[in-house]
Structure 1
Amino acid sequence: MNTKNSQVRLDFPPVQAPETSPDETGFRGTVAIRTQGCKLNQADSDTLARRFIAAGYRLVQSPAKADVFVLNSCTVTATADSKARQALRAASRANPDALIVATGCYAERSKDELAQVEGVSLVMGNTEKDELPSMVTSLLEQKGNRPDNLLPILDHSTQLEGVGTTRLATDIRRNRAMVKIQEGCDQVCAYCIVPKVRGRERSIPPELLVEQINQRAADGCLEVVLTGTQLGTYGFDLPGMTLTGLLERILAETTVPRIRVSSLQPQEITPQLLELWQDARLCRHFHVPLQSGSNRILEQMRRRYTTGLFAEKVGLVRRSVSGCCVTADLIAGFPGETETEFQESLSFARSMEFSDMHIFPYSPRPGTSAVYLSGDVPQPVKKERTAQLLAMAKEGFASFRNQQLGKTVPVLWESSAKHEGGTKWRGLTGNYIRVHTSSRDDLGNTITPARLEDLSEDEVRVEII
Structure 2
Amino acid sequence: MKAAFYTLGCKLNQVETEALVSAFREQGVSIVSSDNQADIYVVNTCTVTSKSEQKARRMIRKFSRDNNSSLVIATGCYVQMEEEEVLSLGDNVVTVSLDDKDTILDLAAFIGSYRFDLRELKSRTALWLQEHLATSKPDGGERFRYSPADFNFHSRAFLKIQDGCDNSCAYCRVTIARGASVSLDSDEIINRLNQLAGKGYREVVLTGINIDSYQSGDLDLAGLLKKILEETRGFRIRLSSLEPDTLTEQMCGVLADERICPHFHLSVQSGSDVILKAMRRNYTSETIREAVRQLRVVKDDPFIAADIIAGFPGETESDLEESMKIITELNFARAHVFPFSPRPGTEAYDITPKVPERETVLRAARLRKASEESYKSYISRSIGKEAVILLEHCDDNGLWYGFSETYIRFAVENVDKGAQAGQMAVCKIKDLSAGTGSAVFHKFQ
TM-score normalised to structure 1 length: 0.86
Any conservation in 1 of the 2:413–2:438 contact (CA below 8 Å)? no
User: What is the alpha-carbon distance in structure 2 between the residues aligned to residue 325 and residue 167 of structure 1?
Assistant: 28
- 1:296 counterpart residue number: 274
- Cα shift readout 1:390-414 (whole Å, capped 9, x = no counterpart): 1111111221111111101211111
Specify the SS of the correspondent of 2:384: coil
* 1:253 alignment partner AA: E
Any conservation in 1 of the 2:92–2:122 contact (CA below 8 Å)? no
User: What is the alpha-carbon distance in structure 1 between the residues aligned to residue 122 and residue 420 of structure 2?
Assistant: 43
Change (3 A) 1:220 1:437: same
User: What is the alpha-carbon distance in structure 2 between the residues aligned to residue 149 and residue 328 of structure 1?
Assistant: 42
Greater CA drift, 35-44 or 267-276: 267-276
Instruction: Give the number of aligned pairs.
Output: 431
User: What is the alpha-carbon distance in structure 1 between the residues aligned to residue 242 and residue 368 of structure 2?
Assistant: 22
Change (3 A) 1:175 1:167: closer
Are 2:203 and 1:203 aligned? no
Structure 1 residues 307-322: aligned runs within 5 Å: 307-322=285-300
- Cα shift readout 1:358-382 (whole Å, capped 9, x = no counterpart): 1100001111111111111111101
- Residue 175 of structure 1 and its aligned partner are, at CA, apart by 1.5
- 2:233 counterpart residue number: 255
Q: Which of 429, 436, 442 is 1:452 aligned to?
A: 429
- 2:172 counterpart residue number: 192
Structure 1 residues 7-406: aligned runs within 5 Å: 29-55=1-27, 57-62=29-34, 64-118=36-90, 120-135=92-107, 137=110, 144-147=120-123, 159-160=139-140, 163-165=143-145, 170-173=149-152, 174-235=154-215, 238-406=216-384
- Residue 276 of structure 1 and its aligned partner are, at CA, apart by 2.4
Any conservation in 1 of the 2:71–2:92 contact (CA below 8 Å)? yes
Are 2:386 and 1:408 aligned? yes
Greater CA drift, 48-57 or 362-371: 48-57
Specify the SS of the correspondent of 2:177: helix
User: What is the alpha-carbon distance in structure 2 between the residues aligned to residue 166 and residue 97 of structure 1?
Assistant: 29
Greater CA drift, 441-450 or 298-307: 441-450
- Residue 95 of structure 1 and its aligned partner are, at CA, apart by 3.2
Task: Give the RMSD, CA atoms, in angstroms.
Answer: 2.5
* 1:131 alignment partner AA: T
Change (3 A) 1:97 1:389: same
Any conservation in 1 of the 2:411–2:436 contact (CA below 8 Å)? yes
Any conservation in 2 of the 1:48–1:129 contact (CA below 8 Å)? no
User: What is the alpha-carbon distance in structure 1 between the residues aligned to residue 395 and residue 55 of structure 2?
Assistant: 28
- Residue 114 of structure 1 and its aligned partner are, at CA, apart by 0.8
User: What is the alpha-carbon distance in structure 2 between the residues aligned to residue 144 and residue 159 of structure 1?
Assistant: 33
- 1:430 counterpart residue number: 405
- Cα shift readout 1:208-259 (whole Å, capped 9, x = no counterpart): 1112122222223221100011111211xx3221111211221222224211
Specify the SS of the correspondent of 1:328: strand
Structure 2: gaps (5+ residues) = none
User: What is the alpha-carbon distance in structure 2 between the residues aligned to residue 282 and residue 210 of structure 1?
Assistant: 16
- Residue 278 of structure 1 and its aligned partner are, at CA, apart by 3.7
Specify the SS of the correspondent of 1:191: coil
Any conservation in 2 of the 1:434–1:460 contact (CA below 8 Å)? yes
Structure 1: gaps (5+ residues) = 1-28
* 1:217 alignment partner AA: A
Change (3 A) 1:215 1:119: farther
Any conservation in 2 of the 1:359–1:389 contact (CA below 8 Å)? yes
User: What is the alpha-carbon distance in structure 2 between the residues aligned to residue 119 and residue 68 of structure 1?
Assistant: 14
* 2:408 alignment partner AA: I
TM-score normalised to structure 2 length: 0.90
Change (3 A) 1:130 1:56: farther
- Report sequence identity in percent: 34
* 1:463 alignment partner AA: V
- 1:462 counterpart residue number: 439
Specify the SS of the correspondent of 2:399: strand
User: What is the alpha-carbon distance in structure 2 between the residues aligned to residue 95 and residue 425 of structure 1?
Assistant: 37
Any conservation in 1 of the 2:207–2:240 contact (CA below 8 Å)? yes
* 2:401 alignment partner AA: R
Any conservation in 2 of the 1:330–1:358 contact (CA below 8 Å)? yes
- Residue 162 of structure 1 and its aligned partner are, at CA, apart by 5.1
User: What is the alpha-carbon distance in structure 2 between the residues aligned to residue 349 and residue 99 of structure 1?
Assistant: 46
* 1:44 alignment partner AA: E
Any conservation in 1 of the 2:391–2:403 contact (CA below 8 Å)? yes
Greater CA drift, 404-413 or 60-69: 60-69
